[in-house]
Structure 1
Amino acid sequence: MTADPTYRGFALDAETALALLQWQAEMGADEPCLDAAIDRYDLPDRAEIASAAKPAAQTAAPKPRDEAEDLTARAETMAGAAASLTALAEAQEAFDGIELRKGARNFCFADGNPAARVMIVGEAPGEEEDRVGRPFVGRAGQLLDRMFDAIGLSRMAVDAEKALYITNVLPWRPPGNRRPEPAEIAMMLPFLRRHVELAQPDLLVLMGNTPCIALLNQQGILKLRGTWATAFGLPALPMTHPAYLLRTPLAKREAWADLLSLSARLEGGGAS
């Protein structure tokens, strides 16, 4: 039996389906719902479930420590030992616990001026970033450059006051540009934390849902954007990702308001 490629009369290819799913996540939808309602009065009683599971629980062998926890602990050790950004990049590139590195073409560590007051944290490399080996160089990156240029900031600037430093939560491209998985974020978080410690920016800009999940343990970027928070002990401003702005041009007005908020914070002393 062949699947119907239409939904209510509209063609629904894989790219469209992914865009719709990402839009729902950006709107704050974080739980899937079934097509039909569940009659919870018809479900087994919790006591019956617990009683049925009890014999199995008594005979079950103790679970070994989760492999992901071991890998995250190893990442923390490697990141903590790095005394410079160069050493950190080498350590992160050498970390073999994350499967993404096997399918990616290039390692994308950072771009811009490491002495910048503003550090932008994105999600993960896309196709163009994977090809070049630098974050934010595709269409979304070009829009990002124009956005920050409008408030006098550039990744090319030598002056730290006018410079940007850019990285991602993940340095490897996920297959098909899928969203990073929680285990992948957890493994890369020690490297990102050390990255921020070594760069010592005044402010962080969290571009999209993934950095908000990683640094704030929150998601729903359309609700979070524009509201200052604290991440790694620094002021952090969530903003909508430039890729979202390319799909939703009307959202550029809110993004401009966020840029003005960032500019005012910098003029007022940054970390105060």
Structure 2
Amino acid sequence: MDLNNTQVEGELVQAQPYQSCSTLENTHETSGRIVVVQRGNCMFQDKARFAQNAGAIGVIVADHQIGSSVDHSPVFAMSADNNIPDDIEIPVMFLFHKESQKLLNQKMKFPTMKVRLAEKVANPGFLFENYLKYGEYARRTPEAIANAMISIDASQEVIRFNFRFAYVNAQSSAEEKQMIVETNMQDLTKFVAFSTAQDMAKFLNHARRLAYSLLGYTTTNSQDDMENLKVLIPKIHLLYPQKHQILTLDLDPEHELLHKTTSMICNFRSGKKYSCYPL
């Protein structure tokens, strides 16, 4: 993600396991948040991928070299495996040990604090002035928004759906697929709101089609379908229900759903053909 003209903002959560070299175990916390991971034992690209698959909207890599600091440590570029296609859609940044510890200490003091990832530093005077005026700071550019089921980038050109299919997969029966898709649709109505019932119905139809495609059905999105979905994105109001209100979390007594989401990303960036693809 190019942060020159956009930004990502969200609450912080620490990856479990911290080094993020395997599937994260706390996806009920990471979805829709910025995830802090520790450097070491695997490539930066792998760490970002595991966090992205867990629903993260951004990643901060904390250096494991005790005492390193931006004040005296050499700057370097985070490496990736050139033989593997770059499938990382979320922003990833690096903090040396001293700076990352300061950040985590602040997180301990203020558990619900938000972090902003952007190319340019926000003017603190501007933020404070607007906080005094309005109770919160007014942003000069829109921010990325996310909850456990939906993420929308700041430009409103990319939307990510996070479905929970539990034990249902492409080999499951048609009845099982229908049950899990409709349960996800019921959950989705608790995570998004529209000003009209008609827009909600249209959005659910798009989401339903995408969910079925992830379960092995051959469903195609025409360019008209994509255009219609794009029009709906700016109308979405994200909601944040309590965990006990989410139906898909009750399907598995072992709570494996907390550790598994299946995602679909739809890209509407100008200059590219509109498309949706699984993550």
TM-score range normalised by the length of the shorter chain: under 0.3
Higher strand share: 2
Q: Which protein shows a greater Rg?
A: 1
Higher helix share: 1
